[in-house]
Amino acid sequence: MDGAQMIAHELAIVPEGMIADMLTREAAFDAVEKVFAAMAAGEATNFPVVREALGHEDALYGFKGGFDRAGGVLGLKAGGYWPHNLDRRGLINHQSTVFLFDPDSGRVTGMVGGNLLTALRTAAASSVSIKHLAREDAKLLGMVGAGHQATFQLRAALETRKFEKVIGWNYHPEMLPNLQRVADEAGVPFEAVELPGMVEADVIITITSSFEPSLMANHVSPGTHIACMGTDTVGKQELDAALVARATVFTDEVAQSVSLGEAQQAIKNGVIAEADIQQIGSVINGTHAGRTSPEEVTLFDGTGVGLQDLAVAASIVEVAVASGQATVVPL
């Protein structure tokens, strides 16, 4: 045996059950904002995504990896979607784990439960877009979608801006109490509306898993910021392509936006071009002006990238190790 490989090091584990205590929404926001900036500056790169149907339990499984040179964060999120988990074994259907590596040596350094983390980093992404693209005087928040993910989105948005009211629509209206509860907790009034009622909103978050557009161009007033968080797969669509065409489009990663994000249909229909889509990180960095008028409709196509997971996981490990709460295993 080569003696060199025996030099010991440590692995810090933060299991799923500890994430709620280890990760604040502020920390998730900061980590995501920073890594979006690094991506736009060319200092952080997402690797090609692997996503495979296993032919077992109807599961989808894969890897989202990346390297943030600026932050010194390397690794991947591995996992996917097991649609029968809840019914068959009382587990949530989305299951993932984040693994971190030392970019200087290639050795594994961290392992972090990825389930709650994924919900919080996705919510952080729309919040980052609201901070940088919504009008300063935005008062009314519209929610399209009312599932589990929507509650994370709403909670994060209400902490980002002082919204005075929330309105919400869902294809299954019986789920709207999910939104009502979050609004109540934040002390903000909530009202259920039909989709045309979204014309009142200054900011709209769409978070459905639809394959047909819900939000049409005439449902949206000038000056609105829309964060499209639901479309992450070829074939999905939340917004009418004409609405996408009317907006100034920003995204986390252009390659994903045009292929599997909200922009895919508008690109396919030829109503926008890839060159029309800006990285949100450019706005954070100040190399793109972002919103340029109070009438402009801005759109953030949040597709979800591995670097978000890695950035948030790295910040969790830092907190967990510093507070002595990580499970540290000698390797």
The number of CA neighbours under 13 Å toward the Cβ of 84 is 5
Taking Cα atoms as reference points, which of 185, 167, 274 lies closest to residue 221?
167
Q: How far is the CB of 210 from a copy of itself (least distance, A)?
A: 23
Among positions 2, 136, 137, 174, the unique one binding a copy of itself when judged by CB under 8 A? 2
Member of 115, 180, 221, 233 binding a copy of itself (CB under 8 A) = 115
Beta bridge partners of 250: 278, 300
Using CB under 8 A as the binding rule, whether residue 177 contacts a copy of itself is answered as: no
> Is residue 190 exposed (0-12), middle (13-18) or buried (19+ Cβ within 10 Å)?
buried
* 157: three-class secondary structure by DSSP: helix
Piece of 76-84, 127-135, 271-279, 286-294 that binds a copy of itself (CB under 8 A): 76-84
Looking at residue 225, its amino acid is H
Pick the binder of a copy of itself from 91, 164, 211, 269 (CB under 8 A): 91
* Smallest separation, CB 327 to a copy of itself (Å): 6
Which position among 106, 187, 270, 324 is part of the footprint of a copy of itself (CB under 8 A)?
A: 106
234 binds a copy of itself (CB under 8 A): no
Can residue 71 be called a binding residue for a copy of itself (CB under 8 A)? Answer: no
Listed ranges 7-15, 135-143, 174-182, 270-278: which one lies at the site for a copy of itself (CB under 8 A)? 7-15
75 Cβ contact partners less than 8 Å away, ≥ 6 residues apart? 65, 66, 98, 99, 100, 101, 110, 310, 313
Active site residue 131: no
Task: Please give the span between the terminal C-alpha atoms of the chain, in angstroms, as a whole number.
Answer: 16
Cβ(178)–Cβ(146) under 8 Å? yes
User: Could you tell me which of 127, 305, 172 has the C-alpha nearest to residue 232?
Assistant: 305
Which residue type is seen at 93?
N
Return the number of the residue (70 or 186) whose C-beta is nearest a copy of itself.
70
Indicate which residue of 77, 131, 162, 165 is catalytic: 77
Residues 19-48 that bind a copy of itself (CB under 8 A): 20, 45, 47-48
Minimum gap (Å) between residue 49 Cβ and a copy of itself: 9
Give the span between the Cα atoms of 170 and 244, in whole angstroms: 20
Give the nearest distance from C-beta 254 to a copy of itself in angstroms. Answer: 18
Nearest residue to 251 via CA among 310, 303, 203, 308: 303
The Cα diameter of the chain in Å comes to 70
CB 5 within 8 A of CB 321: no
300 binds a copy of itself (CB under 8 A): no
Q: Least distance in Å: CB of 243 to a copy of itself?
A: 33
The footprint of a copy of itself (CB under 8 A) covers 1-2, 4-8, 11, 13, 15-17, 20, 45, 47-48, 50, 52, 54-57, 59, 61-63, 65, 67, 69, 74-76, 78-82, 85-86, 89-92, 95-97, 99, 101, 103-108, 111, 113, 115-116, 148, 327, 329-331
Residues annotated catalytic, as ranges: 77
